Amino acid sequence: ICVPRGRVDTIFVYCPEQKVHRKVLIYIPPVEQDSFPVLYLMHGISGDEATWIECGRVRQVMDNLLEQGRVKPMILVMPDCNVPNKLEPKKRTNMLRNMFNFPILRMGDFEKAFPGMHKEICKLYPISSKQKDHYVAGLSSGAMQAANIDRDQPELFARVGLFSPARMKE
């Protein structure tokens, strides 16, 4: 049986707060609808925007779950969440540099830029305007970022998923 496949778009969204274009991967389900719920997936400190696709096999998982009727069609947004990565993608940070820059994660730079990025993505894709259809989840440092975004902008998301969240004592 051939399972219909969603597509993955690569876009760059300008974040004026950081003066950087952030690379974002977007999974679009293989169905036609006027609008879709949206789930943001934040990667951990050792990853980048492609980690959910390459390691988590998000495209194959979603395609199979949709085929089985186990999930509703939704758009998945996987941004580059690396705070110190204020360079073009070809000059990426790596895990070691991210580890040495870990205190930068606590500055909230990515979280401050997130609402503008979210608004821009909602303009580009057929995303539902209802808060009840907006979700965010993250792994490790990405979970910390998701929690911070929800704390600072509780009106953005209906649900938050935190997987092995990194956290600060504060």
Model confidence, pTM:
0.86
Among 164, 157, 118, which residue's Cα sits nearest to residue 141?
164
Distance CA 105, CA 43 (A): 13
Determine the pLDDT at residue 46.
78
Per-residue pLDDT averaged across 164-169, rounded? 76
Band of the pLDDT at 16, cuts 50, 70, 90?
A: confident
Arithmetic mean of pLDDT, 134-148: 92
Average pLDDT, stretch 71-82? Answer: 93
What strand order describes the sheet that includes 7-15? 7-15, 20-28, 75-79, 38-42, 134-139, 159-163
The string of pLDDT tens digits covering residues 85-103 is 554 454 455 555 555 555 4
Which pair of tokens denotes residue 135?
A: 């979700």
Contact 49, 12 (CB under 8 A): no
pLDDT at position 165, please?
Answer: 87
DSSP letter at 139 equals E
Q: What is the pLDDT of residues 18-70, one digit of tens each?
A: 777 889 999 999 999 999 999 999 998 878 889 999 999 999 999 999 999 99
pLDDT at position 127 over 60: yes
For residue 47, the model assigns a pLDDT of 83
- How high is the mean pLDDT of the chain? 85
Identity of the amino acid at 67: E
The predicted pLDDT at position 160 comes to: 95
Check residue 125 and give its pLDDT: 97
Cα separation, 131 vs 165, in Å, equals 23
Alpha helices in 35-140 (DSSP H): 51-54, 58-67, 95-100, 102-105, 109-124
